[in-house]
Amino acid sequence: MLGQASYDSGTKQTWRGWQWNRIVEHLPGYHPRIGAAALKRLCADKVAVYLPGPDDLDRPLVISKGFRNENLIAVDVCPERVKGVRKAGGIAVCGTLQETILNWPEGMPLDVVVADMCGGFNKTIQCMIPIMHSTLDVGTVVAVNLLRGRDADNSVRKTMSEVYPSSETANKHRGIHFAYGVLASVIHGDKRWPTFPLAERARISAYLMALVNPVFYNYKSGNNVYDSVVFGWPWGGSQAKVVRKEIKGYAVVNAVKSIIKTRNIRSRLSAMRAVRTQKLHRSRAAK
Q: For residue range 234-246, list pLDDT tens digits in order.
A: 876 555 555 555 5
pLDDT score, position 253: 47
pLDDT score, position 50: 97
pLDDT tens across 139-178, in order? Answer: 899 999 998 876 665 665 666 555 555 555 556 788 888 8
pLDDT score, position 150: 65
pLDDT at 263 over 80: no
Check if the beta carbon of residue 184 is closer than 8 Å to that of residue 126.
no
pLDDT score, position 189: 53
DSSP assignment letter at 171: S
pLDDT tens across 174-209, in order? Answer: 888 888 778 776 665 556 666 777 777 777 777 777
Query: What is the spatial distance between Cα 231 and Cα 221, in angstroms, rounded to a whole number?
Result: 23
User: What residue type is 73 in one-letter code?
Assistant: I
pLDDT at 2 over 50: no
**Whole-model pTM?**
0.85
**Domains in the chain: ranges and CATH:** 10-255 (3.40.50)
pLDDT score, position 154: 62
Pairing type for strands 141-147 and 112-116 reads parallel
Count the residues in the chain: 287
Query: What is the spatial distance between Cα 106 and Cα 277, in angstroms, rounded to a whole number?
Result: 15
